[in-house]
Each structure stands twice: as C-alpha cells, then as structure tokens.
Amino acid sequence: MSAPLDDTGLPPGTTGVVTIDLDLLAKNWRALSTLVAPAECAAVVKADAYGLGASHCIPALVRAGCGSFFVATLAEAEEARRLAPDATLYVLDGLLPGAAPALAAIGAIPVLSSQLEIRAYSEFARATGLRPAAALHVCSGLNRLGLTAGDVEALALAPERLGGLDVRLVMSHLASADNADDPMNEAQHAEFEHLRALLPAVRASLSASDGMMLGSPFHFELARPGYALYGGQPSRMRRAPVEPVVSVHARILQIRDVPEGGRVGYSGIWRAAQPSRIATIAAGYADGIPRSASAGNAASGGKVAIGGQVAPIVGRVSMDLITVDVTALPPGSVQPGGWAELVGPAITLEEAGAAAGTIGYEILTRLGRRFHRVYQGGS
C-alpha cells in the first residue's frame, strides 16, 4: 500500500488521510472463507465497518461473495440492507422496544438474547401473522449477552415459546479466544455444544476473528470475523491469514529546534535531554489518537513513521496535534507538508494500540471524521 505522499485528488487543506484497500479487504474475506470452509464466513460490519465506511466495505464484500453480515443496531441494518439487498443480516444488539416492525420490514434477523426479547418477538409474530426470522444468542461464559443455561432449559421444556419464530441460527461468543492456551475456550465450546443441543437443530456460530484461529471444532456452520477482515491480528499467538487493509497518515505542519532542557507540549511532561528537532503533526485525540499515547521522559508512548523511519511521540497528545522527536531522522526526510504514518507498513494497528495501553480494535474504530478517506481498488 503506497503512502499518500501525493496530494493529487486530496481536498485542499487535508490534514490526515485514511487509505482503505478494498481489494485487500475482499482478499482477506476470501482467505478467511477458505480457512473455515465448509463452514460459511460472514462479515461483521458493525460501527460503520469498524470505522472504515460501510458504504464502501459492504459492496466490496458482496462482490467478493459474502452473503451474511452482522451489525449491532437497527440503523446499521437499514444501511446494510440498502447496500446488500439479498444478504442475510443479523443484528447483534437484538430486539429493542418498538423495533420489531422495522426489523421485519427489511428482513433483518435480530439476535435474541433473553426470554424477554423472545416473548416480545413472538408477540409481534402473533399480532402480525408473520413468522419472522430470529437468531438465538446463548451465554457460554462471557456473561455479557445471551440466554443463560436456565433460560435455555426453560425453553427446552416449553418449545412452543419459539413457535411463532423462524429460528435460523444459534450462536455464542468467546471470552478469551485471543489466547489459544486459555482453558476457557474449551469450556465455552463444551457449554455451547450442551446448550445448542437443547434448542432447535439449526446452524450454529461460535467464533469471531480470534476464535477462527482455534481450529475447525470452533467453526461450526458460520464464522463471524470483523477485525481480521480489516487486516487486524486478533490472536496473540496465531497469525490470521490476512493483510493490512488500512493505513493512516497525518500532515507534518512544522519542524522546530528545541534546545537541551526545552519542554514540549502541555504541562511540559517531556524535556529535551539534548538539542532536538521536533515535528508537529496534524492529528490529535479529536482524530482518535489516544491521549494515553502521550510520552514523558520516563514513559514512552506512541510512534509515527516518516519516510519509513520510526520516531517517538514526545509530550502530550493534544486535541489536534502531536509532537514527535525527529532528531535521529535524516534531516531532509522531514518536511512541512510531508506525511507521517500513524498506522501502516511501519506501525501495525496492534503496535499503535499497545503503545497507548489499548488494542488495535479501538484505534481502528475511533479514527475520526477529520481524516479524509481514500478507497483503493474495489471495482
């Protein structure tokens, strides 16, 4: 993926660019599809396709052959339906009050997580004479969403409670699949097998991006990757067969010399131990650069790369700006108007996350609206 060092095509005054390679997105989906075959591979496109733009990513995934999508909310489902008229759409947040008619109208499938939701959707089915499609989420140990074991046993004793619904999928979600050695994975797998056997015999789904790397027993009939599609590496120990889709660059505004002892940025948390060159870059916490990527003298923080060479953030990340120490970089390589890579070939999403005490997921989904988005490929 080439750095957007060329201003051609960028609106005047662009301070930052997120570049998204739709061909690589499609390639990643195909690679993950192959990994889980004969299971189906869906695509999780909640939160505007992890911040990358559902309006571009969903059509690219449809063209790649993806037929099932997961979103979190009704509004996301409505957008996804416009972009993928024939796809199967699952709504992870389930059935919210008053949402049943809108869900049924677009043929979206709420993932029902409680007896309350099942009752409400069944009542809607009875009142309308429809038999709407539904998915069931069972809790296998995450204790976040999902029917409890008690709920599932109660349903098994009174299956007529599901009578008005066209149940299509039973799913659950893993807590620690990023660590293949965590015994929780096997425990949740066993609990999922136990609970799904009490429910209608429909397709099952257990794994997101990280769970897919635990091997075929975790694939069931449908896998649900999000992060790995966008090039993230979800597992701490097993590389997903995907390539980075995203790069992020921000403009270098100014370079200044700071004498030994000079302080940089709010509260002066970083002091130059030697005469230093500091580049000020046009991205800050309002753009999704975590303030926790700030760096004083004792603790290091985030990094950028300029001309492929890594330079550390020094001082506080402020709303619109970061300051980086470019003293060690070749003098000609850092120029006002040039670009600093925040995520890309030199700095992975995982590195950007770790340097700020968070994860690549949060870096990806918080990239701000001030970044101009450039889409490559996808035709």
Ligand X SMILES: *Cc1c(COP(=O)(O)O)cnc(C)c1O
Q: Which of 131, 135, 114 is nearest to 122 (CA)?
A: 131
266 in catalytic set: yes
Query: Using CA atoms, how far apart are residues 125 and 101, in angstroms rounded to an integer?
Result: 10
* Between 320 and 351, CB nearer to ligand X: 351
Residue 173 within binding range of ligand X, rule CB under 6 A: yes
* Between 84 and 213, CB nearer to ligand X: 213
Which residue of the set 46, 285, 303, 361 is catalytic?
46
* Between 206 and 322, CB nearer to ligand X: 206
Residue 227 within binding range of ligand X, rule CB under 6 A: yes
Among 226, 301, 307, 312, binds ligand X (CB under 6 A): 226
Q: Are 10 and 17 in contact (CB under 8 A)?
A: yes
Residue 44 within binding range of ligand X, rule CB under 6 A: yes
Q: Are 370 and 15 in contact (CB under 8 A)?
A: yes
- Closest CB to ligand X: residue number: 226
Residue 378 within binding range of ligand X, rule CB under 6 A: no
Residues sharing a CB contact under 8 Å with residue 257, sequence separation 6 or more, in sequence order: 275, 276, 277, 278
Burial category of 164 from C-beta neighbours within 10 Å (exposed 0-12, middle 13-18, buried 19 and up):
buried
Query: Using CA atoms, how far apart are residues 14 and 87, in angstroms rounded to an integer?
Result: 36
Residue with tokens 């709010």: 266
Q: Are 172 and 223 in contact (CB under 8 A)?
A: no
The stretch among 61-69, 207-215, 301-309, 325-333 that binds ligand X (CB under 6 A) is 207-215
Among 16, 132, 146, 225, binds ligand X (CB under 6 A): 225
303 in catalytic set: no
Query: Using CA atoms, how far apart are residues 347 and 356, in angstroms rounded to an integer?
Result: 13
Q: Are 178 and 361 in contact (CB under 8 A)?
A: no
Residue 164 within binding range of ligand X, rule CB under 6 A: no
Residue 138 within binding range of ligand X, rule CB under 6 A: no
Kindly report whether the peptide bond that precedes residue 259 is cis, defined as omega within 30 degrees of 0. no
* Between 83 and 138, CB nearer to ligand X: 138
* Between 213 and 283, CB nearer to ligand X: 213
**Residues between 79 and 108 with contacts to ligand X, criterion CB under 6 A:** 92
Tell me how far, at minimum, the Cβ of 33 lies from ligand X, in Å: 14
Query: Using CA atoms, how far apart are residues 229 and 218, in angstroms rounded to an integer?
Result: 18
* Between 140 and 294, CB nearer to ligand X: 140
Residue 302 within binding range of ligand X, rule CB under 6 A: no
The stretch among 156-164, 187-195, 205-213, 330-338 that binds ligand X (CB under 6 A) is 205-213
Tell me how many residues contact ligand X (CB under 6 A).
13
Among 234, 307, 338, 378, binds ligand X (CB under 6 A): 234
Tell me how far, at minimum, the Cβ of 144 lies from ligand X, in Å: 9
Tell me how far, at minimum, the Cβ of 137 lies from ligand X, in Å: 7
Q: Are 139 and 148 in contact (CB under 8 A)?
A: yes
Q: Mind giving me the DSSP string for 196-244?
A: HTTS-S-EEE---HHHHTT-GGGTTTEE--SGGGGT----SSS--S---
* Between 213 and 356, CB nearer to ligand X: 213
CA-to-CA dists, residue 100 to 79, 81, 114, 135, 147, angstroms: 17, 16, 15, 14, 19
Among 81, 196, 224, 277, binds ligand X (CB under 6 A): 224
Residue 146 within binding range of ligand X, rule CB under 6 A: no
**Active-site positions?**
46, 266
Site of interaction with ligand X (CB under 6 A): 44, 46, 92, 173, 208-210, 224-228, 234
